[in-house]
Every structure is written in structure tokens, then in C-alpha cells.
Structure 1
């Protein structure tokens, strides 16, 4: 097993500080892989996957908490309709600048996958590869139903504490930022079609065939509309978090994709 060194960083932005970590293999090669977390996620919730990814690929791996999540500063307001697209020019751009990253590979899970598409489109000359996992390309009834179900579950006694463990007193904001943003009427016709057309790098699209937040229509749309070459892998018997449910398969697919 390749030795991996873990480091912590703080990224300054006009809205507040972001917490970041990177995992650096002993003989790092290629460009960094930058991870973008899901709607309830943070660096800590990637658990041991970043270290596994760094060891398996030999690439430096970077993950950061978006503003309002994990150990980063609180978000000053609410998430507007364009929050997915805006991340490329906000937290992601700050991470690139302050960690001295030029070319990169971006890997996003769930809504972080949509943000990864935005980053690949906005930094098309610098993004060497795009990996998306369980991402949403548009607003689907299955996605909205999954969010409603989760909202009811978090309303049960003691359930919000699951988020408090990772987000502290920001937990309620994190939950409402996910649920209320996706369920608002103004979000109904949101999609990533315009950004997908601007993606030029190779894309790997991973999706579980039992994903409770999105059907196979999402990876199909991603691969059909991306401006660059794309590969879709439908993971059998897998739900919404492949890097946790089928980590070995995800790592093997990423290794194969990066060549």
C-alpha cells in the first residue's frame, strides 16, 4: 500500500474561510484530483475514500468543505437557483488559487457532480478529466421524492444529530439548504445541458442502478450531452453512495479511466 500524507488547509474567500485537506502519495504523479461533496456532505464524510483514491491512483487528492458545511464558516444566506453552477467561480476557484493548482481532475458526488461539471466547463483549458458519481443532470420526480422522504426522516427525534456530528450548529442550515432549494418551484426546470456542452475533457459517469435519488436517465443525459468523450458505468446493486457501498469497484473504474 502506497504511503499517503494527510495535510490540512484553510482557504480564504470574501464570504468566509473554507476547510480543506489533501492526501499526498509518497511519489505523487499527475495532476491533483479535487473532490466535491454532496448536499449533506463534507470532507469528513468522504471517510477513508480520499486516502484510498490517492493510494490507488498515485495522484494528490484534495477535498474541501463548501461554505456552510463541515468545518468551514457558516453560509451568510440561502442557496439561490444557480448555486450549482456558481461553485466553479466561488469556493472551487479559491481552492485552486490558494493551493497553487493549475491543471486538475475533478470528481463530484451527487450535487457535487453537477458542480464538477460546472468546474470542468468553466476551467475547460485546465480540467484534464471529469468524474461524476450519482449526479443529477436535471430535476426528476424520483429525486424530489427522495428528498421529501429524507426530510421526513430527519424530522424524527434524534435524527438531526446525525448531521450535527459533522456540521455542528450549521446542521439545520445544511438540511434546509438541500431540501428547500430543490423543492422550490423556481428550481423545477433546472438542468446542466448548457454547461455539459462546454465540457471538453474525458468524462467518467458512475451511477448505481438502485440510486434512490436519480434514475439511469441522469447518466444517460450526461453522456449524451457532454461536449467531450464520455464513459458510463452503471453499477449493479448499488445505491446513491458508490464510493462507500462499492469502493473497490469505484477505485477500479477510476484507475481504468485515468489509464
Structure 2
């Protein structure tokens, strides 16, 4: 077992403070891996995966709460169309500046996977690896059906409290930011089609074949349009959260990819 140093950080931005945490092996190798969470996620909801990722790879791992999520400050308004691509210019750029990051590997889950694509595209000269997990590349009927079903679940008594455990008083904003954006008419035509050709680094796309929020058409689209070399791994019997449902397999795939 590789020993790790862990540390918490607060990053100042024009809109508020971002919370970040890092896991650093005593002997670091390669570029840092930056984790981007899903639509309802935060650093805490990665659970023990960042530590296991750092131990398995020997890379420094950094995760952060986007503005409005987890321990970061509340978002001053509502998310607008383009928020997926904008994260590369906003929170991710602030994090790179704070940590003084040059070359990096970016790993995004769900909508964080789309944001990871945007980061790899915007900083193509510095991104040496892109890993997406359950990422959406376009708006699919299956995705919208999954969101509608989740919205009904969260309307049941006590369900919003699950989000409050991680987001506090921001929980209702977090839920609405997810549901209202994806189900909005102006989001129906969204895709990563114009961003993907700017990705030049190697790409690993992980996707569960039982993902309730997207079919394997998403990783296929990612590999078809990205300019760099790509590998797709479909995980049998796996849903939307491979790093929790199939953690060992995910770690094996990532280690092999980084080699």
C-alpha cells in the first residue's frame, strides 16, 4: 500500500471560493490527475476512489467541488447554456493556476466527463490524457428519461435530505441545476461535437452497459470525433457509477491506459 499525504485547499475565484482536496503519493510520478464530479456530486461523493486511484497509479490526484456544490461557495445565479464547456475556462482554470499545474490528466464522471472533454480541448497542449466515465456527449432520450425518474424520486419525503448531507443549503439549487438544464428546451440540441475535434491527447472512455443515464452511443461518439487515439471499455452489468460499482476494474483500466 502506497502512503499518501492528503490536504484540503480553498481556491479564490471571482464568484466565490472553491473547495479542493489532493492525495499525494510520497514518490509522485507523472502528471496530476484532476477529477471532475457529476451533476449531483462533490469531492466527498468520490468516497475512497481518489485515494485508491493515487495508490494504484502513483500519480497525484486532485478533486474539487464546482461552484455551488459540496463545500464550495454557493453559485450566485443559475447555470446557463454552455455551462459544460465553460467549466474549463472557470473553475478548472482557477484550479490550474492555484496549484501551478502544467501538464495534466483529466478524469470526469457523467457531466464531469463532458467538462473533462472541454478541459482537454481548451488546454490541448498541456493535457496528456483524458478519461471519461459514463460521460454524455449529446442529449439522448435515455438520459432525459433517467433524469425525469430521478426527479420523481427526489420529490418523495426525505429524499432531498440525501443531497443536503453533501451540499447543505445548496441542495435544492444542485437538484434544479441538473434537472432544469437537461430538461430545458434550449439544451435539447447540446452536444460535444464541436469540442471533440480539438482533443488531441489519448482518450479512455469507460461506460457501464446498464447505464440508466446514457447508452454506449456516447463513448462511441467520443471516440469517433476526438482527434487523438481512443479506447472504449464497456463494463458488463454496470450502471452509471463505475468507480463505485466496478472500482477494481476501473482502476485496472486506468493503470493500463496510463502506461
* Structure-2-length-normalised TM-score: 1.00
Q: Secondary structure at the match of 1:147?
A: helix
Q: Once the 2 structures are TM-superposed, how far is the Cα of residue 15 of structure 1 from its aligned partner?
A: 0.2
Moved over 4 A (4+): none
Aligned to 1:93: 93
The count of aligned residue pairs is 259
Q: Once the 2 structures are TM-superposed, how far is the Cα of residue 100 of structure 1 from its aligned partner?
A: 1.1
Q: Secondary structure at the match of 1:193?
A: coil
Structure 1 segment 112-191 matched on structure 2, within 5 A: 112-191=112-191
Alignment of 1:193 onto 2:154: no
Q: Secondary structure at the match of 1:54?
A: helix
Q: Once the 2 structures are TM-superposed, how far is the Cα of residue 25 of structure 1 from its aligned partner?
A: 0.6
Structure 1 segment 31-50 matched on structure 2, within 5 A: 31-50=31-50
Q: Secondary structure at the match of 1:5?
A: strand
Aligned to 2:28: 28
Q: Secondary structure at the match of 2:198?
A: coil
Alignment of 1:225 onto 2:225: yes
Alignment of 1:235 onto 2:240: no
Whole-angstrom distance in 2 between the partners of 1:68 and 1:23: 23
Whole-angstrom distance in 1 between the partners of 2:27 and 2:181: 42
Q: Once the 2 structures are TM-superposed, how far is the Cα of residue 5 of structure 1 from its aligned partner?
A: 1.0
Aligned to 1:73: 73
Q: Once the 2 structures are TM-superposed, how far is the Cα of residue 71 of structure 1 from its aligned partner?
A: 0.2
1:161-198 deviation per Cα after TM superposition (whole angstroms, max 9, x unaligned): 00000000000000000000000000001000111000
The unaligned stretches of length 5 or more in structure 1 are none
Aligned to 2:104: 104
Whole-angstrom distance in 2 between the partners of 1:215 and 1:31: 31
Q: Secondary structure at the match of 1:197?
A: helix
Whole-angstrom distance in 2 between the partners of 1:244 and 1:153: 21
Q: Once the 2 structures are TM-superposed, how far is the Cα of residue 26 of structure 1 from its aligned partner?
A: 1.2
Whole-angstrom distance in 2 between the partners of 1:155 and 1:90: 32
Whole-angstrom distance in 1 between the partners of 2:130 and 2:185: 30
